[in-house]
Structure 1
Amino acid sequence: MHFYSMAILIFKRIKSDIPLLITGSLLFYYLFKNELDMLNSYAENELLPHITNENIENVNTDLLLPIDNKFVKNSESTAKPVINTNPDPGSLNLKTDKSKDSTAVNLFDYDTLLEKNRFFPILQNSLDTSDVFNMISITPSNTIKNIKSLSRKLKHLIVDKFTWKTSYTYISEDYPNIQSMKFIDNGFAVKGQLDKIKSLFQETFDLYSNVIAGETDELKPLTRERIDNGNGFGRTLIGSIDMFFILNMEQELDDLIQKLTIQESLSTTKNLLNTNENFITIVSSLISGYELSNEKDEIFLKIAKQMAKIAIKAYDSPINGLPLPELPFKSLIQNRFPLRRTSIFDITGNILELVKMSSLTKENVYISTGLNVFQKLHDSSRNVFNMDYLFPSVIDPSGCQLVKQDINRKVSATASQSHMKSIFNGNYVSCLQRTTFFSINDINNFDSDGEEILEFIDLINEDGNVNYLFSILKTYHLLNGNDDLGFKTYFEKSFEIINKFMFYKPNLPANFLVEGGNNDFVFFTPITVKKGKLDEINNELDILVTQSLKFRCQHCQLGGMFLYASKLFENKTYQVIGEQLINGCALLPKFAELELIPESASFDKCFDLNNCYSFSKEAKIQSMADGSIFDNNFEIVTDGFFKIADTELPDTSEDDEVDAELMKLKDSSPLIKVDRKRNNKDLIDLKLEYEDEDETSAGIETSEGDILSDLYTKQQQQIEEEEQEVLVNKIFKMTTSKVEINGKPFNAQLQKWTDGKYPLYINSLDSKYLLRPEFIESLFYAYRITGDNKYRSIAAETLDKLIAHVKQVHNKHIEISAIEDLYTLEPRDELPYYWFTRTLKYYYLIFSDVSKYSLDDYIFNGDGHIFKKNYIIQN
């Protein structure tokens, strides 16, 4: 009792000082922590001397030699380095006197590289393992035994740059309905079609599951060969989780849940993980399974979180927080810039999925990362590349510009705070930090050859699961229209460019005028862009745009995208475009004399939109014979392809059937060019309307110091300032590509191409059929958005033709596979994972009751996985 009393007495005497002691301890701790962080920051940027015995400014020339702008390893330590005269020697400054280089660092030694990488990030062009340095840098560590041991502290990501706000769950009363309120056929389920599609899924999935336990990504259906062409997590199985729920496949679902519960993680033998697949396919499918189980099957969420924590490491890069397209997740060397040559689709592929992850877990690291990507997209959208708002397919997102150095190894710029010491090809280099994307051959890089790289621009990747404009729309919808970052404005600005340069109609024979009926249509085309002549007197720069005229089947997704935007932003023009793009996809097989949509096709462009059925074999043969068809006649472009609508979509919520006025517009709408003066006025009106909307549709009023609102205001001011500051007046001139017919053999007497597979009015055609989902995806959106049952009819007709074509007889068994050649019906031993995750899913959903998975309550990501959209209506 004595000791107890003494303890009570002491506590009473010091209890008033306890908060002070705790506060002092915390201040003491964070003081030293901040000092440590500051010193590490200085080490990364080389702003203070390093306490080390080595001369870090020297380069070991016994190990590296520059040859043709590439560093190669020297096998003879006593050999004299051979310096190539092409690179700027001042920028490389390799030492040639070995006697003075005794303290040089060997960055080809794994342990040395691992140590130096703590402070100096690695810059790489690619992860090509044929390169010695790349191979060393991605070497897996023996200490990593399984997925669960990979949880590492994030080094660069700012987890609170953007936060998940409560206001994102609120939706205004006047927020538009994406799904139609009325359906011509009442929107009931079509049981016969649903049974047929479920049977197809069951048949092909049984083939996969009977051969594979789920560890392999895909199966070749004819030879039964297993292939890991993804991340090796079994993406066919994992990607089918939501289909198990949709089709009520309880046995398959129970087996998978039991397997995941025992393993508690996914496994793979691969070292490089594709970042897009991690989020778009694996994490998204697990999220979908968790939400479709009414949040009961928690194993899906547990593993989704586990995988997301690994995948987010790809974004843990210096300067800009942009991702590596492939993450060497088993390597301990993790401090890396994004690759200098990266697809724009690898950069922008996961915005929606990251925001969704935060909405589910309330962990800010995901939304902060996803919205940071969009901010970088926005910051790089003007005055960086030749075309604003739309990006070249391959860019440099590293944020590291390799700068030249003088003979004293000093960087040429004076602002040393903006430079970071880095490792490139086994050498120390000075990296000028840039906060935007830039060209892969930027003239300011010391290794640039000075040649301008053609900027190839497309909107959708080869896999068809990344379309950053569609992702922006879906993210806007997921956030219930709380548009702090300006998603709506970005889409509208991008559309202006698309409307000018990326639509066309082909020139066809007269018989298609009758066959096409009243279905007006349009094709999408990628473009290439480069600089032309500079008129210094008038301060005018020619920007030369070339339409490829190559329409890929992946472009069929764009019809659904524009229809989605038409409802989201209540814009009639987008609806007309969406319907005409879908019409183009539906008519393409007829033009190619096929029954299914081929992989790609290119046509001659129709320049007179009032006379697009005037193709003449004789005229084309003559133009190829005399070479006139290859003339590059660049014409100045000022107008858009489609007329900009002046009014919003009419309200259809109380109509007895689909709005008659809109149907009339669809049937009679000519492809009229825009009067530029009027277009400018429309854009001003649109901008004012947007600014008004921003004040009323944000859900809940935000605080005065709200980060996102402030950022949005700054972005709007930046746009206005950039529009006023004209550095040079760009004059856009456009022509069409002749690549597809250049050197192509033809028979003038028979008036046909020598190979004879497709008609003369088609310039190229890839006749493969790979079971792609983009057309049925757009048909699904078109039916749900317009309520017109003609899209169900097209889907039913297409499904019947698909089944008739892809069933192959093999060893007396009927198997389903892709087709190598639609003209000869030669089979292709391939059954892609998206056949399960997207193709059959959208076929099933278009014939399901429209109350199932309404577009107002659910969002489908790029790989077809279903996210719940949570919202509270604000009065």
Structure 2
Amino acid sequence: MIPKRRGRSLTTAVIILLVAYFFLFQIFFSPSPWLFNRRPKPVINPDTRKNTIHMADARTIYPIRSHIPLPKNPAPLPRIQHEFGPEAWFERRERTQRQKAVKREFLHAWDGYKNHAWLRDEVRPVSGKFEDSFSGWGATLVDSLDTLIIMDLDDEFHIALEALEQIDFTTTFSSEVNVFEIVIRYMGGLIAAHDLTHGKYPILLQKAEELGDMIYHAFDTKNHMPQVRWRWGRSAIGQVIEPKTNTNLAELGSFTLEFTRLTQLTNDPKYFDAVQRITDELDKNQMSTSLPGLWPVSVDALRLEFTGDEFSIGGCADSTYEYLPKEHILLGAQTDQYKKMYMRALDAIKDNLLFRAVTKDEDKKILFTSDLTIRKEKPHQIDHSSDHLKCFLGGTVGLAAKVFNRPEDLAIARGLTDGCIWAYDSMPTGIMPEKFEYTPCADMDDCPWDENLWYESVLQEPLQYHKHVREAQTLIAKEGVPPGMVSAKDPSYKLRPEALESMFYMYRITGDKSLQDSAWRMFQNIQKNTRTKYGHSAIDDVRDPVSKMDDRMESYWLAETLKYLYLIFSEPDLVSLDDYVLSTEAHPFKRTSGYI
């Protein structure tokens, strides 16, 4: 009997040792939450110091005597999202695998930021250094709050939530505050996180209001238009500020969603009043510009003059147009003002800026918008170029087509979206350049592939001799562009989200699963060409498979680009467009009205 007991004892000891070994292995070598979900230490910027002045004590020089009231009785709107049917098991498996891959890339970038730039604005993804580009309030942290929620990264969200206590939105070491960027990244991130968590964490709204109270002083001018590149120190010590005579349209007209939602949540009318005054000026001047229906890219916010001659829906203008249908949704269709302004703008875009591109893919109507300069005595100058920032328009037109019951506009929305997909798929890296020129069709409905027309666009003159063909071919080879594209004016990729943004909207609106396949293709190419040790980097040249990286990862990479990718592969009720309206920084705000 004794030998048997000894054998059992030995067996028990071996089992205990094995269990202990595996337990210790799990502790030290597995991705345990206590190892990865730890509280990081703030990274200190040694070149800056906290300012001794704060906006909390600033006085108002031009007080508002009577605020424009917020509409109070929202009405139902048409349903936006497609009626998705049951999903086959193999479709679900593929979709969730893709979604997990996106989430892994987010965690890689988030981990790089958390370990090397915590509470700074951005991490430099190649060097591991940090950058303070937006007043040093932790732009990536705040901008990414709602992405953490959407991706069910609860532990990481609570770590970020605790860090908010250390951010003081009443002061900054920056002498100048970019009001537009601060509002869309910080205020938008805080409000969206509040809405997605149904108000569970009071600090989110408290910080949004703290920031709102500071930024509101940028509107304390004689005509109540904001100084968008705000010399906040002057306001803090009671000095007068003025709006700029050369203000970008986007920086003037893109506060409506954030400020409106803040008023809805706090019942403080000043925020909605501030943006509604801007809207009223845009409305009043919309049909009296040199291109009626559109506003010039640069406006005089001091004299409230809209006399510029350059028109575009790209950078410096884009989100003003984007916010017209979105503000209509957020206000619950209580006013037709934003609908009217959108219709005017879309008509002008169709008549003056919208073109079909000459491509070998003749089955699809590939659409882009051009830039236009109005000349009083000479013919108008049309620049047939597109840029990544313009890729938002497909999603905006699609959204408005549903909300305003204009199904005929869905073809335009899809054409614009397909244009950006084509620009990605046509490049050697599978990534669209920041800006490029294209060959426009003479007829929107009849546009066969015409190689000679392409050559003429490249040369900017008619083909008269055989040598012209050779010259065009030489230029094309030098430029490294695909058929239909004339030149890559800016061949970089800055991790931008706009193409994926429109694909997200069009997928949720139409249910077309080919858009998921296109998004997956884009994701794989972007991941392959931009991944670094500490995150993902913008690259200099999408024509070069081994392009130089410029060591920059702006906060919108986590707040927008990866979020849109994740949502494209999510179940359609996650951040449904019938429940939320997304800001220009992809921050979901809870809608106050339902749908019909």
TM-score range, shorter chain: 0.7 to 0.9
Residue identity matched to 1:461: G
In the alignment, the residues of structure 1 paired with residue 419 and residue 565 of structure 2 have an alpha-carbon distance, to the nearest angstrom, of 19
Report the identity percentage.
22
Aligned mates of 2:200, 2:457 — CA distance in 1: 66
3-state SS in 2 of match to 1:586: helix
Residue aligning to 1:398: 302
Q: Secondary structure at the match of 2:58?
A: coil
Shift of 1:805: 2.0
Q: Is the 2:259–2:275 Cα contact (8 Å) retained in structure 1?
A: yes
Three-state SS of the structure 2 residue aligned to 1:867 is: strand
Change (3 A) 1:389 1:183: farther
Q: CA deviation at 1:153?
A: 3.5
Select the structure that is richer in helix. 2
Q: CA deviation at 1:299?
A: 0.9
Shift of 1:488: 1.1
Structure 2 Cα separation of the partners of residues 143 and 231 of structure 1:
11
Matched, 1:382 2:263: no
Task: Name the CA shift for 1:754/1:191 in 2 (closer, same or farther; >3 Å).
Answer: closer
Q: Secondary structure at the match of 1:287?
A: helix
Q: 1:312 matched to which residue of 2?
A: 216
| Correspondent of 1:762 among 459, 463, 485 | 485
1:770 Cα deviation after fit: 1.6
SS at match of 2:381: strand
Q: Is the 1:231–1:277 contact (alpha carbons within 8 Å) kept by the matching residues of 2?
A: no
Pick closer, same or farther for the CA change 1:182–1:293 going to 2, 3 Å: closer
> Is the Cα contact below 8 Å between 1:180 and 1:785 reproduced in 2?
yes
Q: 1:708 corresponds to which residue?
A: none
Aligned position for 2:305: 437
Q: Does residue 182 in structure 1 map to residue 89 in structure 2?
A: no
Distance 1:263 1:832 in 2: 19
Alignment partner of 2:183 out of 268, 273, 279 = 279
Match of 1:446 in 2: none
Counterpart-to-counterpart distance in 2, 1:231 and 1:622: 43
How big is the shift at 1:759?
5.2
Q: 1:159 to 1:192 in 2, by over 3 A?
A: farther
1:480 to 325, 332, 337: 332
Q: What is the rounded CA distance, in whole Å, between the counterparts of 1:783 and 1:621 in structure 2?
A: 34
Kindly state the Cα deviation for residue 815 of structure 1 after the two structures are TM-superposed: 5.2
Partner of 1:826: 547
Q: Give the Cα separation in 2 of the matches to 1:603 and 1:872.
A: 41
User: How does the TM-score come out when normalised to structure 2?
Assistant: 0.83
Structure 1 143/279 Cα, relative in aligned 2: closer, same or farther at 3 Å? closer
Q: Where does 1:306-385 land on structure 2 (aligned, <5 Å)?
A: 306-319=210-223, 321-331=224-234, 332-383=237-288, 385=289
1:460 aligns with 2:366: no
Once residues 454 and 397 of structure 2 are traced to their aligned partners in structure 1, the CA distance between those partners, rounded to angstroms, is 38
Which structure has the highest strand share of the two? Answer: 1
User: CA–CA distance in 2 between the matches of 1:304 and 1:352?
Assistant: 13
Q: What is the correspondence of 1:334-733 to structure 2 with a 5 Å cutoff?
A: 334-383=239-288, 385-399=289-303, 436-439=304-307, 455-461=309-315, 466-483=318-335, 486-508=337-359, 512=360, 516=361, 518-532=363-377, 544-609=379-444, 610-616=446-452, 620=456, 628=462
Q: Aligned to 1:518, what secondary structure does the other structure show?
A: coil
1:184–1:787: 8 Å Cα contact kept in structure 2?
A: no
The answer for the alignment partner of 2:3 in structure 1 is none
Q: After superposition, what is the alpha-carbon deviation per residue over 1:563-600, rounded to whole angstroms, capped at 9, x for unaligned?
A: 00110011022211001111111112344455121112
**Residue 783 of structure 1 aligns with which residue?**
507
1:292 alignment counterpart: 196
Measure, in 1, the Cα distance between the counterparts of 2:268 and 2:452. Answer: 62
Structure 2 residue ranges without an equivalent (≥5)? 1-48
The answer (yes or no) to whether the contact 2:458–2:476 under 8 Å persists in 1 is no
1:460 Cα deviation (Å)? 3.5
Greater Rg over alpha carbons, structure: 1
Post-superposition offset of 1:863? 0.7
Aligned ranges 1:109-258 → 2 under 5 Å: 145=52, 147=54, 149-158=55-64, 160-167=66-73, 170-172=74-76, 175-183=77-85, 185=87, 190-214=95-119, 216-258=120-162
**Aligned equivalent of 2:40:** none
Does residue 847 of structure 1 match 2:576? no
SS of the equivalent of 2:305 reads coil
Normalised by the length of structure 1, the TM-score is 0.58
SS at match of 2:340: helix
> How many residues are treated as equivalent by the alignment?
536
Offset from partner CA, 1:360-388 (integer Å, 9 cap, x none): 111111111111110010111122x2111
C-alpha deviation, 1:206, in angstroms: 0.7
Q: Residues 617 and 524 (structure 1 numbering): CA distance in 2 closer, same or farther, change over 3 Å?
A: closer
Shift in Å, 1:506: 2.7
1:623-671 Cα deviation digits (max 9, x unpaired): 76xx5589xxxxxxxxxxxxxxxxxxxxxxxxxxxxxxxxxxxxxxxxx
CA contact 2:286–2:293 (8 Å) conserved in 1: yes
Over 3 Å counting, the alpha-carbon distance change for 1:327 and 1:621 in structure 2 is: closer
The 2-side partners of 1:158 and 1:814 are apart by 47
- The one-letter code of the counterpart of 1:483 is T
Deviation, structure 1 residue 530: 2.3
SS in 2 for 1:530: coil
Q: Is the 8 A contact 1:505 1:612 kept in 2?
A: no
Letter in 2 for 1:347: L
- Cα distance in 2 for partners of 1:521, 1:778 equals 14
Contact 1:598 1:768 in 2 (8 A): yes
Counterpart secondary structure, 2:589: strand
Aligned to 1:80: none
Aligned counterparts of 1:143 and 1:806: Cα–Cα separation in 2: 34
Partner of 2:527: 803
Task: Report the 3-state secondary structure (helix = DSSP H, G, I; strand = E; otherwise coil) of the residue aligned with 1:826.
Answer: coil
SS of match in other structure, 2:283: helix
- Secondary structure of 1:784's match? helix
Give the residue type in structure 2 aligned to 1:520. Answer: K
User: Structure 1 pair 794/851, CA: closer, same or farther in 2 (3 Å)?
Assistant: same
Amino acid at match of 2:322: F
Q: What RMSD over aligned residues (CA atoms) do the two structures have, in Å?
A: 2.9
Counterpart CA distance in 2 for 1:494 and 1:143 is 44
What amino acid sits opposite 2:305 in the alignment?
F
SS of match in other structure, 1:547: strand
Shift of 1:756: 4.6
Query: In the alignment, residue 146 of structure 2 is paired with which amino acid?
Result: D
Cα distance in 2 for partners of 1:590, 1:291 equals 36
Shift of 1:350: 0.4
Q: Give the C-alpha shift of residue 847 in structure 1.
A: 0.9
Asked whether the 8 Å contact 1:162–1:371 carries over to 2, the reply is yes
* Aligned twin of 2:32: none
Taking structure 1 as reference, are residues 152 and 572 closer, same or farther at Cα in structure 2, changes over 3 Å only? same
**CA–CA distance in structure 2, aligned partners of residues 607 and 366 of structure 1:** 47
Task: Flag the 1:749–1:774 CA change in 2: closer, same or farther, 3 A.
Answer: closer
Q: Does structure 2 retain, via aligned residues, the 8 Å contact 1:280–1:863?
A: yes
Contact 1:163 1:364 (8 Å CA) reproduced: yes
Distance between the aligned counterparts of 1:559 and 1:298, measured in 2? 36
CA offsets 1:399-423 (integer angstroms, 9 cap, x no match): 2xxxxxxxxxxxxxxxxxxxxxxxx
* CA distance in structure 1 between the aligned counterparts of 2:470 and 2:61, rounded to whole angstroms: 63
For the 8 Å contact 1:272–1:326, the answer to whether it is kept is yes
Structure 1 residue 837: deviation in Å? 0.6
